[in-house]
Amino acid sequence: MSVSDTLFFSRREKALIRLLQEDLPVCPEPYQEIAARLGLKQEEVLAAVGRWVDCGVIRRFGATVRHFRMGYEANCMVVWKVDELSDHREAGALFATFPQVTHCYRRPPFRDWPYTLYTMVHGRSREEIDNTLAKMSAASGLKDYRLLFSVREWKKTSMKYFSEKEQDR
């Protein structure tokens, strides 16, 4: 089944999608709670989610962490210059082993911006970030990097595919 085969959703499916696009319930069995809200069995919810993942309707589930609220006041996007001869995957895999790193991805270089590997590093202080970066640099052998510190945490929201207004359609 392709994504184009799944463009039409039943009312029950739309109701499930409305709940899935919100924050998951914070409880031991969030899908059980979602199922209960809809009058379904947990197995039905998991089966629907599985079908949507298999056909590409759902590509990923993500967690939003509000770092400042957790006490991580030093949050820094670190951009690394990785030579084209170097293996980005190797450096990325190494950086991903650091618990302070929550995001790690590659981007193309630009004329005046040679940085191609991006890591989001979190710490409780600037000193903690500096210590982590010294370890990351030593472990990877990468010495050319720039620090872009967060000064504010912006509101984080997810895409909404079906609104409450569409509930009766």
The mean predicted confidence, pLDDT, of the chain is 84
Q: Which residues contact 154 (CB under 8 A, 6 or more apart)?
A: none
Please report, for the chain, the start and end positions of each structural domain, with discontinuous segments joined by +.
3-63, 68-149
Asked if 140 contacts 95 with a C-beta cutoff of 8 angstroms, the reply is yes
pLDDT tens digit sequence for 37-78: 999 999 999 999 999 989 888 877 766 666 556 665 678 999
Query: Which residue pairs from 123-126 have beta carbons closer than 8 angstroms and sit at least 24 positions apart in sequence?
Result: 123/72, 123/74, 123/75, 123/76, 124/71, 124/72, 124/73, 124/74, 125/73, 125/74, 126/74
pLDDT at 8 (0 to 100): 80
pTM (two decimals): 0.58
Whole-number percent of the chain with pLDDT over 90:
50
Q: What percent of the chain has pLDDT over 70?
A: 79
- Residue 31 CA to residue 15 CA, distance in Å, equals 14
Is 3-63's fold the same as 68-149's?
no
- The third-level CATH classification (topology) of the domain covering 3-63 is Arc Repressor Mutant, subunit A (1.10.10)
How far separated are the first and last CA of the chain, in Å rounded?
24
What is the CATH number assigned to the segment(s) 68-149?
A: 3.30.70.920
Q: What is the pLDDT of residues 72-84, one digit of tens each?
A: 567 899 999 998 7
Asked whether the beta carbons of 138 and 98 are under 8 A apart, the reply is no
